[in-house]
Chains A and B, each alone.
Chain A
Amino acid sequence: MENIVNVKINGKEYAVPAGSTILEAARYAKIDIPTLCFLKDLNEIAACRICVVEVKGARSLVASCVYPVNEGMEIQTNTPKIRESRKTTLELLLSNHDKKCLSCIRSGSCELQALCYEYGVEDVDRFKGLMQDFPLEISGEHLVRDNNKCILCRRCEAACRAQHVEVIGANARGFDTHIGCAFEKTLAETACVGCGQCIVACPTGALRERDDVDAVFKEISNPDKYVVFHAAPSVRAGLGEEFGLPIGTNVEGRMAAAAKRLGFDQVFDTNFAADLTIMEEATEFLQRVKNGGKLPMITSCSPGWINYAEHFHPEFLDNLSSCKSPQQMAGSVIKTWFAEKNNLDPKNVVVVSAMPCTAKKGERLRDGQSAAGVPDTDYVLTTREFSRMIKRAGVDFVNLPDEDFDPALGVFSGAGVIFGATGGVMEAALRTAADVLEGKDLSQLDYHAVRGIDGVKEASYEIAGLTVNVAVVSGLANADALLNKINAGEADYHFIEVMCCPGGCVNGGGQPIKSAKVRNTVDIKTLRASALYNEDSGMKLRKSHQSPVMKMLYDEYFGEPGSHKAHEILHTHYSAKPKY
């Protein structure tokens, strides 16, 4: 029984695993100790002092998030002293906090607000004194930082470090301490990749996406504009959470129904463009293999990853697939093929995408993303913004009937659906590449080795006599490590899928924000990914190249995958950018 220690929590005895922290041990006693700075495996700095408890024999209150249990420890989690300490800590945090909670985007999902309510903080001005007055950081396309709402928990800094980007952190000291970049540069001047993992880590309203909700409503009500909407696979795996549905609920049908009720002229699914990406990417891969092109080929769907490669690993830019991301392919097709077919001037077509991603907001403005001479995409809404639109429009989301996407570009394969989970793009590409190489409709559909939320997955497949070594990584730290291994000659692959966010797009920076309480105890990534894999496995159409929309687009417009026209409209380029 070495691995078990016996502790007393609030007078009752519990056997808990050795090495547990008091916070973890308390869960066995069904005690939920509040935290603010703590995020499991990410930020364990014991800075906020909200999680304090009493330990018999200890000189003072201890931070339960990092304090390990030992044999015979006697812990109190709910004494007047503890409650008073936590309340005072909250009052002190409020003493230098912008308390315009009524209009704060996180009102209702703010962890500080929730704790103030729980601990009965009635006088929010108990400690009156000097207040910091920081300007808003609005340099980035993807986010707004309001340091006046920052409580210096440093969860954003930890999230940025975990991505190996590390452009934000705590500057100065004492009362002047603030989150910023080196030499107080703006975020846009740094190598920030726009992943938004800082936003979903923030407990308060200090970090949020740039909100385009009003702008999109305005476009919809403009009679001169033809507004086309499409939503990425991961949005349907997360959107329901904003309406109180359990994590992992697939709300595809309700999502389409809601978008139609918002007044968009067409409601499509980004999945058709994911299929299109596979057509082009699989073709590009096969050509590289046949013609001795640059290998390994690395996927290019994730704009955070593209930004990272440009800033931190420019030596791999030739390895990147030249395919635009599904978002941009969708916009390209809508403003070329669809506009031509429907006699629309692309200048009057507004493409709005709903994405689990904040980096997509910046991708929209990249060079080489204007197939029809106007930007392929006009507005990018995160899953959160899209939910705000639905709420503002008074749509009763939960009770909506399931509806289909509009038919022109609303049919897609299961391969397109799984794009949202790490390994999904690889699996989708393998389904198509294997069929093309073998020249027949293979029955192998599931590539299990590339599934699951592990940060790094490797596999080898025999396809038409070729051995194809593949790797799938998610999270930029894992990508960094893999690229360094390749540089050192320690790894050899033909095809690599990289997703910027840990777990892939289902865990993107634009997805619903979960409190630390949920993040520390629930495997959100797996639950959301399962919504996508379940949809795929229940579909008849599971290979991109068998989709009738693909057949139509290539027959009517592009000719064949990798054609000159396809390259002009569906492909792009990259350029090295400075690290500092």
Chain B
Amino acid sequence: MRMSLLAPEFRVIRDEEKCIQCEVCVRQCAFEVHSYDLEEGKVASDDSRCVGCHRCATLCPTQALTIIRYPQEFRRNANWPEQVIKDIFKQSETGGVLLSGMGSDKDYPIYWDHLLLDASQVTNPSIDPLREPMELRTFLGRKPDRLKIETKKGKPRLKTEIAPQLKVEVPILFSAMSYGAISYNVSLALAQAARTMNTFCNTGEGGLHRDLYRFGGNTIVQVASGRFGVHPDYLNAAAAIEIKIGQGAKPGIGGHLPGEKVSQSISETRMIPEGTDALSPAPHHDIYSIEDLSQLIYALKEATCYKKPIMVKIAAVHNSSAIASGMVRAGADIIALDGFRGGTGAAPTRIRDNVGIPIELALAAVDSRLRAEGIRNQASIIAGGGIRNSSDVVKAIALGADAVYIGTAALIAVGCHMCQKCYTGKCNWGIATQDPYLVKRINPDIATERLVNLLRAWSLEIKEMLGGMGINAIESLRGNRLRLRGIDLTETELKLLEVKPAGESL
């Protein structure tokens, strides 16, 4: 084998005194880090294969394993840091495009951490969510410009026809993760958790597995450029249809699911032959303008008899607000914005780390623009791509979102350790893999429980934060940027976010 210049990323430290040679680590690691040496009569480890997912260390019955960053140091150089050198080594050895899994790990500013929430003191007292009702229920979809009410036999009746809505009891939806990128068991867990918590999961562009049609009422199905698994039953099974234009982790580019991952079951769900590449080209071939987008929106509305909201998802980019305005006018009932920290099963590293803008800025810009044009009521906004906890959710809603999408957080809840190797298909946690031996590692019911716990915990926290602000319905917070203050932000950033600096009163 030709020598690689790449040093390992991690070092596996085995405490020989604690290790009982049980070989659990050998069996757990799909990257084949550990192996039993017959001659030596003990387990040995190959640092160069380790991805730092901690599966072995977590399952080691005697805690004999510790994984640390590989201590080898290059000469310090601010211009040529370690990762830059390693990337060049890798590309000169393979001649290929660098791939990464999950969202960007680069040190860009996280605006959530520069926004502070308000609380009530003395006047407009806070509300105790433990004693008083708090409403997180949210309706997602097109709202009428005005309501007409007529009186029939002395009773008032709503005359205005209300467009179809998605009703969520907690303003958090699971974002698009396709069967193919994630395993069947994780897809099932997301669907079960969505049903339990009265929210929605999203198929991504990989089709809807036959066995998951029963969760259609809690499922958003995607129509992307590859049109995988899209047919009338699929469209009609869903609660809403999302046209995927872009994704925060890889704005402007398509996706390739390599043939090796197109197993029999994936092939049936995507409706493509087994073992063939599933190519999702960058653009929809029939969408080159807002008018074209409108055509697909209405083709889908016609196909489903105007019974379901049609969503359009775009990556957060420089011109998001103008595009969003066009999307609403094109007929989108819900617009999903995906920030550049959003996750993915596989994205070219350079795209992931350099293209797009943070969700906070895009969300603020889109909400402001739609308000300024007087069309904010015509579509709901779902913000995603970097929502990490309940305070991010509250801040997103105050910035103008109706609800949020979580993907990475949901996967972490079921065991993801963020090793970023989803694209290898060897996920030791059984999440981003189709290998039956690995898939079994996720028990769908336990995973469901963990997801439900996460949403429950976050909704309790959201209620606490709302109560503290003296608000008893999440609706009253939506777009209420006066309840936010910016800290350590430039004037321009404050202006873009339309948020006052911390310390400034009303």
A and B: real partners? no
Residues of chain B at the chain A interface (Cβ within 8 Å): none
